[in-house]
Each structure stands twice: as C-alpha cells, then as structure tokens.
Structure 1
Amino acid sequence: MHNHFVSIVRGHECKTTAWSGGATTELLIDPPGASYQERNFSWRLSVATVDDPESIFTALPEVKRILLLLRGQVRLVHEGHYETALRPFTQDTFWGDWRTHCYGRATDFNLMTRTPYRGSVAPLFLTGQEPQRLTFDQDITGETGILVLYVWQGGLTVSVDGRNYRLRAGDVCRIEAGQGETPSVILVNRDRKPAKGVITTIYKERKDG
C-alpha cells in the first residue's frame, strides 16, 4: 500500500497580490490555511515579478529564502553580507531578515522556509521525448519528504507510480511521500518545444541527538 499523495494546482487557481516592487503569485503554502500576511507559514512557494528597476525586499525574520531567477537579470545587495548577480536559472540563498536591495527587472521563483523545514530548488529543463526520472532523498528526513514541480514554460506529463498527470505552464504538482517510501516519479515532454520549470524539495531537518 502506498502512503503518499499527489495534488495538482492549476495556474488559474493561484492568487496574485501586489508587493512594493511588483506582484507575487502564491503557488503553495503550508500548513493549509496559513497566511503569508500573518507570517504563520512553515513554508511557501511563489513566483514574483520585479517591475521596479530598484526595490527593497520585504523583511521576513526567521525565514530562509531561496530565489531562482526565471527571466531577466538582477543584482542583489545584502547589506553587511555580500552581493551577487543573477541571470536566468541561477539562484541565491539568504535570510529574510537581511536588508536586501534588488537592482533590475525580472521574474523569480521563491522558496521560503521556517525552522525545522528546509529545502532546495533546481532548474527543470525537459526537451524531446527522453523521460527524466526523479528520486526522493530518504537520507534527509525521518518523516515526510515533499517534491514540488512547477512548470514555467511549455508542458509535461508527470507519472507517479504509473498514474499520469498533465501539467501546463503555471501548473504545480506536489508529491508527498511517507516515511521510507520512494515513489517512482517520471517526467516526459511530449510537446515539440522545451519545458522549463523548477524542481523543489522540502524536508524537515533532523534533530540532533
């Protein structure tokens, strides 16, 4: 018996709100019913547009952030820490309570986590008919691992233990595995144009001792 579930969120179901430098589309937030405005989330995935040539990121104490650029070019200046230049499908990891200036217009993918949750993001490029297999890393968590696929451009089919789900641009697929489970996840692009997106892994950190 499989102890995992798959949920699909279509792009038109995601809500978009304004922030000081552009707009943010929330893809997923956990736990269910949590609110970004109330800062009571464990983790959150979103896509944001940076419309102003210069902006300051919203302060988010106790939140670890990973930002992966989808389009455009930006320079992030973390006051008192470092600065970095990003181009499409490169990323930066930083703390939400840092004062961060952003220079440039862009579209970016964001993962926000609060302790004990952590995560990672990786670019997804899928061309032609060659399937791509994804795996859950069972070493990083003693509890539940979460794999999230976000399609930014194009479309693909994700197969989870033989059951197929069709994803188009803007769609999100969340796959949650039970402890010790390794569901088979296979991605196939049946379209002529490449599929581009982001693969996110979210997990609970182990407690020492």
Structure 2
Amino acid sequence: MVQAGILVVRKDELEHKRWSGGITTQLAIWPEGADYGARKFDWRISSAVVEDEESVFTPLPGIHRHLMLLEGGIELTHEGIGSRVMIPLADTEEFEGEWKTKSSGRCVDFNLMTVKGYGGKMESVAANKKIKLPMPQELRCWYGLYAIADGVAAEVEKDGRFARVTLERGDFILITYLPAPGEEISLTLGSDAAVPAVSAAVWQES
C-alpha cells in the first residue's frame, strides 16, 4: 500500500531572501534541517523573481538544476555550451550548477535542484485533468505543487480516499510517499485558469 503524507504551506509562511539578481522564495528543502546557504541539502524547490536585466547564476558545483518560467521572458546562456530563449509554462531547462550560466531579461521562475542520487522533473499542471503522480521503483518520492492562480481546488486521491484543499496564488503543497507496485496517487485541480499550478517531482534513486 502506498504510504503518503500531505503538507500544505500558505504563501505567508514561506521564506523569502534576496539574492544578487532579485528575490528567492524557498518552497521546500530536504532533509529536515538542510541549509541551502551552506549548500547542505539533497534537493530544493524554490521560486525566484529576477529583477535585474542581466543576471549571473550562483555557482552550485555538484547540483543538477531544472528551471521553468512562470512569467516574463529571458534568454538563458551557458558559456561554451549554448543559449535558449525560455517561454513561460512551456519550456524546462536542465543544466549543471557548475556551468557558467547567465540570463538576459526579467521573469518569475520555478526551480528544482538535486544532488547525485536524486532524480526529478518539472512540468505545468492543467486544470480539470487527472494527473497520476510519478511512481518509480525508488526509495522515496516527493511531489511539490505550486499554485499560480487563485481559488484552485486541489483534490488528491489515494486508495479511493480523497484529500481536498483550496489553494491561493503562492500556496504550496508537498506530497511525500513511498511507491508501491500497481498502486497510484492522483491529483486533480479545479480552476478557471487553464494552467493553475506547476509541479516538481523528486525521487531518491535506489
């Protein structure tokens, strides 16, 4: 049987900090007691407001990064590798933290960082569509959902039981679960917005 827990964090409970190019909001970090500032963590989910027209990404050796835009537009450039113009809620860029990366333009973004031994992916979540949470044959999984619209009715189904919560823009849900073969956890978002949330899935690789 799938074992799962759901944590709801409201936007006024989240931690905001300034960085060189704007403001970052930490949504979730693992393990308990992890410290992003000291670079002591296994994974981290966050959102950032990029205020400067030109920004240089903080070097993060040994960290694999995923990035998606929520608003605005930037051109992301990895020195010696290539560049890409990012489209909000459509593109996801994966890159290594030790790359020399910079951006041109202003935006609000959504981020996932993982160390070796953890996998992950990010995607936008459509309204009124049943989404099955990833169920890889791994040790432990997490599924973070970040609301980007108001009045989002989130319904989580597991073993025929339902948990329901209403989210406002900036609220965050973290579902922690242990995969079980042949079983599933699903999520449905009721909203007037076509894309009311974005998600970051993380799993500890065996």
The alignment's TM-score, normalised by the length of structure 2, stands at 0.90
Between the aligned partners of 1:77 and 1:115, the Cα distance in structure 2 is 23
SS of residue paired to 2:148: strand
Counterpart mapping for 1:96-115 below 5 A: 96-115=97-116
Between the aligned partners of 1:171 and 1:132, the Cα distance in structure 2 is 20
Residues 126 and 189, structure 2, Cα contact 8 Å, conserved in 1: no
Between the aligned partners of 1:104 and 1:201, the Cα distance in structure 2 is 27
Match of 1:136 in 2: 133
How many residue pairs get aligned? The number is 200
Between the aligned partners of 1:141 and 1:155, the Cα distance in structure 2 is 34
Residues 74 and 104, structure 1, Cα contact 8 Å, conserved in 2: yes
Q: Percent identity?
A: 32
**Alignment gaps of 5+ in structure 2:** none
SS of residue paired to 2:109: strand
Residues 72 and 107, structure 2, Cα contact 8 Å, conserved in 1: yes
Which runs of structure 1 show a deviation greater than 3 angstroms over 4 or more consecutive aligned residues? 181-184, 192-195
Aligned amino acid, residue 144 of structure 2: V
SS of residue paired to 2:144: strand
Residues 59 and 98, structure 2, Cα contact 8 Å, conserved in 1: yes
Between the aligned partners of 2:81 and 2:105, the Cα distance in structure 1 is 20
Aligned amino acid, residue 23 of structure 1: I
Between the aligned partners of 1:13 and 1:145, the Cα distance in structure 2 is 23
Between the aligned partners of 1:119 and 1:188, the Cα distance in structure 2 is 21
Going from structure 1 to structure 2, the CA distance change for 1:25 and 1:41 (only over 3 Å counts) comes to same
Aligned amino acid, residue 202 of structure 1: V
SS of residue paired to 2:12: helix
Aligned amino acid, residue 103 of structure 1: S
SS of residue paired to 1:132: coil
Going from structure 1 to structure 2, the CA distance change for 1:100 and 1:14 (only over 3 Å counts) comes to same
Cα RMSD of the aligned pairs, angstroms, is 1.7
1:72-125, Cα deviation, whole Å (9 max, x unpaired):
110111011111110211221100111111100111000001111110000123
Counterpart mapping for 1:24-173 below 5 A: 24-89=24-89, 90-126=91-127, 131-138=128-135, 140-160=136-156, 161-173=161-173
Aligned amino acid, residue 130 of structure 2: R
1:143-199, Cα deviation, whole Å (9 max, x unpaired):
122111110122322222312122111111111222316443232325x44452212
Residues 2 and 180, structure 2, Cα contact 8 Å, conserved in 1: no
**Alignment gaps of 5+ in structure 1:** none
